[in-house]
């Protein structure tokens, strides 16, 4: 297992390098730049700024400088937010983003697994139909539209919850953002759990357990849940990365102080440093989550052997 994990880490290095390279050149080759505002800067000031951020160098030289700094753990300065480097901005906003995403992840995973089990046990009955409706709403309706609808209903019309903004330590301000993030994640997990559980309940070893007189709860707890969780575990890594990246737009909609406001502002202003730094951060998180999912999958299924 340890050897497999080390091989996966080593194989992720060229993947990470390719991703960084593609993101770097796509940003730099796109029209516009961080200093191309509505009001043009004087030529001398613009030249000094470009020299300060090495933008006057050939593109390949800029790339090599960035890679060298990245290997030293330096994500570079922000070209728009004066006085801050990318690492400082990420350290300010990412803990809040991680808190929101992990809260939605835990709630959605628990609800999705339980709902999928209930739907599988009650196949083609009213709980199953209710689940299908909830899954369709969660998957079809995009995050930004769901956020706007919940803001309108619960924040404006009913006034039950804050429609946006943030007050330190206020749980009500997190209810709507966490709901928007958790709903599609729970819907996908419940759909996976339902299909997997129906398949497991039809296997020979489950029928044998039932023929020995075991009740439904014991059959589910001892024989069905663990193998039925395998497709769900495979989805959890990409699912968590989806929540982390999806939280960027949700934070912007609800006005939350996460990394989303820095990323959206940087993308609009062509702040190369923040966009690249945030992309690299999420890329490494996705690679780490995929590795963890593979290891957990082997623990759940003893038949899996890594060679």
Q: What is the pLDDT along the chain (307 residues), one digit of tens a residue?
A: 666 667 777 777 888 888 888 888 887 777 766 776 656 667 787 777 777 777 778 888 888 888 888 888 778 777 777 777 788 888 888 888 888 888 888 998 898 888 888 888 787 788 778 887 877 777 778 777 888 888 888 888 888 888 877 777 778 888 888 888 888 888 888 888 888 888 777 676 666 666 666 666 666 666 677 777 777 877 877 788 778 777 777 888 888 888 877 777 777 777 788 888 888 888 888 878 777 777 776 666 656 555 5
Residue 198 confidence (pLDDT): 80
| CATH architecture observed for domain 93-300 | Orthogonal Bundle (1.10)
Domain locations in the chain? Answer: 2-71, 93-300
pLDDT at 284: 81
Q: What is the pLDDT of residue 137?
A: 79
Closest to 72 in 3D by CA, of 55, 87, 59: 87
Residue 1 is predicted with a pLDDT of 61
Residue 205: what pLDDT? 62
pLDDT for 141 equals: 80
Give me the pLDDT at residue 303, please: 61
Q: What is residue 215's predicted lDDT score, i.e. its pLDDT?
A: 61
Centroid of chain to Cα 223: 31
């Amino acid at each position: 297992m340890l050897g497999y994990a080390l091989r996966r880490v080593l194989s992720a290095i060229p993947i990470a390098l390719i991703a960084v390279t593609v993101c770097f050149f796509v940003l730099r080759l796109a029209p516009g730049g961080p200093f191309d505002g509505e009001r043009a800067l004087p030529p001398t000031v613009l030249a000094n700024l470009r020299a300060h951020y090495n933008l006057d160098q050939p593109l390949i030289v800029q790339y090599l400088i960035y890679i060298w700094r990245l290997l030293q753990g330096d994500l570079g300065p922000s070209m728009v937010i004066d006085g801050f480097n990318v690492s400082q901005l990420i350290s300010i906003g990412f803990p809040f983003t991680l808190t929101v995403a992990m809260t939605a992840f835990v709630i959605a995973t628990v609800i999705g697994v339980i709902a999928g089990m209930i739907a599988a046990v009650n196949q083609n009955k009213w709980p199953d139909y209710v689940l299908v409706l909830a899954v369709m709403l969660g998957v079809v309706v995009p995050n930004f539209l769901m956020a706007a609808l919940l803001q309108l209903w619960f924040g404006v019309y009913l006034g039950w919850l804050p429609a946006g903004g943030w007050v330190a330590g206020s749980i009500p301000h997190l209810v709507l953002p966490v709901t928007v993030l958790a709903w599609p994640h729970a819907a996908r997990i419940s759909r996976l759990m339902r299909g997997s559980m129906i398949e497991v309940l039809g296997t020979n070893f489950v029928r044998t357990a039932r023929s020995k007189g075991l009740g439904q709860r014991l059959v589910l707890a001892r024989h069905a849940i663990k193998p039925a969780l395998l497709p769900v575990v495979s989805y959890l890594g990409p699912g968590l990365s989806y929540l982390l990246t999806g939280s960027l737009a949700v934070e912007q909609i609800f006005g939350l102080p996460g990394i989303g406001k820095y990323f959206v502002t940087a993308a609009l202003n062509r702040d190369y440093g923040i966009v690249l730094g945030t992309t690299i951060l999420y890329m490494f998180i996705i690679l780490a989550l995929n590795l963890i999912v593979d290891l957990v999958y082997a623990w759940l299924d003893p038949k899996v052997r890594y060679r």
